Amino acid sequence: MVGAACALYAARAGLDVILVDRGPVAGGTTGAGEGNILVSDKEPGPELDLALLSGRLWGELAQEFGAAVEYEAKGGVVVASSPGGLAALERFADGQRAAGVVAEPVAGDALYDLEPHLAPGLPGAVHYPQDCQVMPALAAAHLARASGARLFTGRTVTDVLRTQDGAVRGVRTDKGDIHTPALVNAAGTWGGELAALAGVRLPVLPRRGFVLVTEPLPRLVRHKVYAADYVADVASDSAALQTSPVVEGTAAGPILIGSSRERVGFDRTFSLPVVRALAASATRLFPFLSDVHAMRAYLGFRPYMPDHLPAIGPDPRVPGLYHACGHEGAGIGLATGTGHLIAQALTAKTPDLDLTPLRPDRFAEEAA
């Protein structure tokens, strides 16, 4: 998704773009995502700024692509499970509001107007109308096509070609060399490997997640609904399994149920304990789901970086190398802002956001 967005914005900035992927379109984490475009789960700071920019850009793209990418401005509802949790959630929302997020407190009764099928007795929630959703694979495919970029799928980059003074001059692939003065690393969870080919360290690590998919249903869940502890889980550094319920309906009918986080490398083994935990937390939030069938489950690997911020912008260590990866579970939502900022960097424009906190070499400094 990030690569497709970079291609789109770079092409619209007047550049000639080639999009290379070792797999098919949306074959990595994009194809395993839920398509979140969220502000609700982000605390004030550079990621929230990027999310707000990205949300605006998604809104613009929705005018252009709309139904083809199943864009839905459905809003998010973050539910507290205890009065104490609600107070903490509302304090969190206060901070977000100051940063430009629309966050509306929802008292217990009004909550059931928003989501009639939630479990009874919940103290309250915060409603985030800016939260949206797209179908990620469709979004990536349509953005890639609209970019007009030449699309080379099934082609693996095996080396980064550099000039004598170390600048990028192209990439070597298993199907021949491609010459270019600018290389954008949008390899997501595998971005560290691509960076290594260019001789630099970029600590992108996989954080596994499962999604459960139900049978098709009428619109019984209207928003993206999740429990307030999701925010804490996203920000956590634990390697152990964490699950917090995230439940949402889709335009196509099925309900998607997340979310789990584990640092287990690239292990693709199906885990019944994880999907059982997902089912348990989702049915607690929406009891009607107990009688609903899970039809499938899939897993993906979020590109996780130690400080939970993506790497976006030029890499001062290798002239011509730009990074656009490490968005963890927010890559779909943050793709548009990332693509826009990368295009600005590629065309030597002043970026709309300060890229300092996202600079790709920040970890090298820490290590030194």
Partner 1 sequence: MRTPLELADAHPGPAFTVTLDGREIEALPGQTVAAALWAVGVTSWRSTRGEGRPRGVFCGIGVCFDCLVTVNDRPNQRACLVPLHPGDAIRTQEGTGHDG
Partner 2 sequence: MADLAVIGAGPAGLAAALAAAAQGVTVAVVDSATEAGGQFYRQPASGLRARRPQALHHQWRTWERLRDALPGSGVRILTDHHVWSVERDSDGFTVHALLGPEQHEPVAVHADAVLLATGGYERVLPFPGWTLPGVVTAGGAQAMLKAGLVVPGRKAVVAGTGPLLLPVATGLAAAGVEIAALVEAADPKDLVRHGRALAGKLPEGAGYAARLLRHRVRLLSRHTVVRAHGDERLTGVTVAALDTDGRVRPGTERYVPCDTLAVGHGMLPHTDLAETLGCRLDGMTVAVDDEQRTDVPGVWAAGESTGIGGAGLALAEGHIAGRSIAARLNGTEPDPVQWAAAAKSRTKLRKSAAALDAAYPPPAHWSEQVTDDTVVCRCEEVTAGAVRDAVDELGAGDVRTVKLLTRAGMGWCQGRMCGPAVAGLAGCELTPSRRPFARPVPLGVLARQHHIATEEGTS
Tell me which residues touch partner 1 (CB under 8 A): 215-218, 220, 253, 293
Q: How many residues does the chain have?
A: 368
Min dist. Cβ of residue 218 to partner 2 (A): 16
- Candidates 94, 116, 153, 267: give the one binding partner 2 (CB under 8 A): 153
Three-class secondary structure assignment of 100-121 = CCCCEEEEHHHHHHHCCCCCCC
Check binding of 282 to partner 2 (CB under 8 A): yes
Min dist. Cβ of residue 253 to partner 2 (A): 9
**Cis, bond preceding 259 (omega within 30 deg of 0):** yes
Going by DSSP bridges, is the β-strand pair 183-185/124-128 parallel, antiparallel, or unpaired? Answer: unpaired
Min dist. Cβ of residue 122 to partner 2 (A): 18
Stretch that binds partner 2, among 18-26, 332-340, 346-354, 357-365 (CB under 8 A): 18-26
* Binding at 273: pick from partner 1, partner 2, none (beta carbon under 5-8 Å per type): partner 2
Check binding of 292 to partner 2 (CB under 8 A): yes
Stretch that binds partner 2, among 91-99, 185-193, 280-288, 306-314 (CB under 8 A): 280-288
Nearer to partner 1, 15 or 220 (CB): 220
Min dist. Cβ of residue 215 to partner 1 (A): 7
**What are phi and psi for residue 222, nearest 5 degrees?**
-95, -30
Give the H/E segment covering residue 8: helix 2-12
- Alpha helix stretches (DSSP H) within 120-184: 136-147
Residue ranges in 294-353 that form contacts with partner 2 under rule CB under 8 A: 294-298
Direct distance between the N- and C-terminal alpha carbons of the chain, in angstroms, rounded to an integer:
32
* Binding at 83: pick from partner 2, partner 1, none (beta carbon under 5-8 Å per type): none
CA 363 from centre of chain: 21
Distance separating alpha carbons of residues 339 and 38, to the nearest angstrom: 17
Residue ranges in 158-177 that form contacts with partner 2 under rule CB under 8 A: none
Closest CA to 222 of 54, 121, 72, 63: 72
* Binding at 220: pick from partner 2, partner 1, none (beta carbon under 5-8 Å per type): partner 1
CA angle 191, 231, 185 (to 5 degrees): 10
Min dist. Cβ of residue 348 to partner 2 (A): 31
Check binding of 26 to partner 2 (CB under 8 A): yes
User: Contact, 184 vs 314, CB < 8 A?
Assistant: no
Min dist. Cβ of residue 100 to partner 2 (A): 33
Closest CA to 148 of 335, 11, 10: 11
Contacting residues toward partner 2, per CB under 8 A: 24-27, 31, 137-138, 141-142, 144-145, 151, 153-154, 212-216, 252, 254, 257, 269-270, 272-273, 275-280, 282-284, 289-298
